[in-house]
């Protein structure tokens, strides 16, 4: 019973292939399954060893039906990939564990802090990491940056340069945060893939400079072994409740190297292929810890620096398809 499930895989073809390769390296009979809202039209599901459909995560029978599918396909490990699943799966983690199925997911308290950017800012500050100042909506400085505390994919974000650009929507929407603007001409933007072992200890940190972003996901990225690595070891070397991959975002001032924490997503991010291909093998470590029961305790920093990723669209063809 060494099969793995990646949930809501959508277009994450590379992530599916990485786990397929690492699983088959330790068990040639192991299978990688995928789920999606419409798995027949999911490119990642189509390249997986198998796939199945589950209801929306907010339906009452989601957990029960997912559990039944895991039993049917001998799945022993679940890896969620989207934000909306995290709270539900973390809350019901024990149900799967009672059936010898592990879920690679951080604790619910940490997930709640990551889902609310105000709480994320508090977590950063607790760790000694600076954050952009949040203004009172009656007392702010321009330019400023506006974003929702629970947003994703850069939806509902605004750079405000003058008061004329502000509307009632900005003031009345309680979800919108008025933030100090960190000028992109003065800061480099990084996504840092962090791997935490089952004890919440940081095992690897790979900063990826975001050279070009499309729809909130990196399109061109570059691995850098800069001051972020020792900074993260010092400030985020131990995070209570963290497990597996945390995708974090930081801004670094170009001249002073001052670092600001932006957000944390306790799951694999869309730009993870660059981290894996640089030599940081998160899928292998997950399999070792959660399936083979091995401990991973040594910090890993032997990944390739200055590896440039340029992304493009590719095709998955399904012959004889009938809707």
Alpha-helical runs (H) found in 12-167 = 13-26, 43-47, 62-72, 83-91, 93-97, 108-115, 117-126
Percent of the chain with pLDDT over 90: 93
Grade residue 1 by pLDDT with cuts at 50, 70 and 90.
low
pLDDT digits (tens, 9 = 90+) for 301-314: 999 999 999 999 99
**What domains are there in the chain, each with its CATH number?**
3-105 (3.40.50.20), 111-128+184-310 (3.30.470.20), 144-180 (no CATH)
Grade residue 231 by pLDDT with cuts at 50, 70 and 90: very high
What's the mean pLDDT when you consider all of the chain? 96
Statement: residue 222 has pLDDT above 80: yes
Residue-level pLDDT at 211: 93
Res. 147: pLDDT tops 80: yes
Pairwise CA distance, residues 313 & 318, whole Å: 17
Q: How many helices (H) and strands (E) does the chain have?
A: 11, 14
Helix spans in 218-269 (H)? 228-235
pLDDT, average across residues 244-267: 97
252 versus 213: which is more confidently predicted? 252
According to the 3-state scheme, what is the secondary structure of the chain? CCEEEECCCCCCHHHHHHHHHHHHHHCCCCCEEEEECCHHHCHHHHHCCEEEECCCCCCCCHHHHHHHHHHHCCEEEEECCCHHHHHHHHHCHHHHHCCCCEECCCCHHHHHHHHCHHHHHHHHHHCCCECCCECECCECCCCEEEEECCCCCCCCCEEECCHHHCCHHHHHCCCEEEEECCCCCCEEEEEEEEEECCCCEEEEEEEEEEEEEECCEEEEEEECCCCHHHHHHHHCCECCCCCEEEEEEEEEECCCCCEEEEEEECCCCCCHHHHHHCCCCHHHHHHHHHCCCCCCCCCECCCCCCCEEECCCCCCCCCCCCC
Predicted confidence at residue 152, as pLDDT, reads: 77
Give, for 282, the enclosing helix (H) or strand (E).
helix 282-290
pLDDT class of 215 with cuts at 50, 70, 90:
confident
pLDDT at 194 exceeding the cut of 70:
yes
Give this prediction's pTM: 0.95
Instruction: State percent of the chain over pLDDT 70.
Output: 100
The per-residue pLDDT for range 82-141, each reduced to its tens digit, is: 999 999 999 999 999 999 999 999 999 999 999 999 999 999 999 999 999 999 999 999
Task: Evaluate whether 135 touches 147 at the Cβ level (below 8 Å).
Answer: no
pLDDT at position 275 is 99
State mean pLDDT over 246-267: 97
Which are the contacts of 39, defined by CB distance < 8 A and separation ≥ 6? Answer: 45, 51, 52, 53
Query: What is the per-residue pLDDT for 155?
Result: 85
């Amino acid at each position: 019973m060494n099969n793995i499930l990646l949930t809501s895989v959508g277009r994450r073809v590379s992530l599916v292939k990485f786990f397929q390769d690492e699983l088959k390296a330790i068990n040639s009979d192991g299978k990688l399954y995928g789920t999606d809202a419409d798995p027949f039209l999911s490119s990642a599901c189509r390249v997986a060893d198998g796939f199945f459909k589950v209801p929306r995560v907010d339906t009452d029978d989601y957990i029960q039906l997912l559990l039944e599918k895991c039993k049917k396909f001998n799945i022993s490990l679940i890896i969620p990939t989207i934000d909306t699943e995290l709270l539900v799966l973390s809350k019901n983690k024990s149900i799967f564990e009672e059936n010898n199925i592990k879920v690679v997911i951080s604790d619910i308290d940490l997930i709640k802090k990551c889902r609310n950017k105000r709480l994320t800012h508090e977590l950063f500050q607790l760790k000694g990491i600076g954050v952009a100042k949040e203004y009172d909506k009656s007392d702010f400085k321009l330019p400023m940056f506006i974003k929702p505390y629970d947003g994703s994919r850069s939806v509902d974000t605004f750079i405000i340069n003058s008061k004329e650009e502000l509307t009632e929507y900005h003031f009345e929407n309680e979800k919108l945060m008025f933030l100090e603007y960190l000028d992109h001409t003065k800061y480099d933007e990084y996504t840092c893939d962090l791997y935490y072992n089952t004890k919440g200890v940081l095992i690897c940190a790979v900063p990826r400079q975001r050279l070009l972003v499309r729809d909130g996901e990196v399109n061109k990225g570059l691995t850098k072994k800069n001051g972020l690595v020792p900074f993260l070891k010092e400030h985020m070397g131990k995070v209570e409740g963290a497990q597996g991959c945390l995708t974090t975002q930081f801004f670094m001032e170009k001249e002073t190297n001052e670092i600001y924490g932006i957000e944390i997503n306790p799951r694999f991010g869309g730009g993870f292929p660059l981290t894996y291909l640089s030599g940081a093998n998160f899928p292998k470590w997950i399999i070792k810890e959660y399936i083979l029961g091995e401990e991973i305790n040594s910090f890993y920093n032997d990944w390739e620096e200055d590896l440039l990723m340029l992304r493009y669209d590719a095709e998955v063809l399904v012959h004889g398809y009938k809707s």
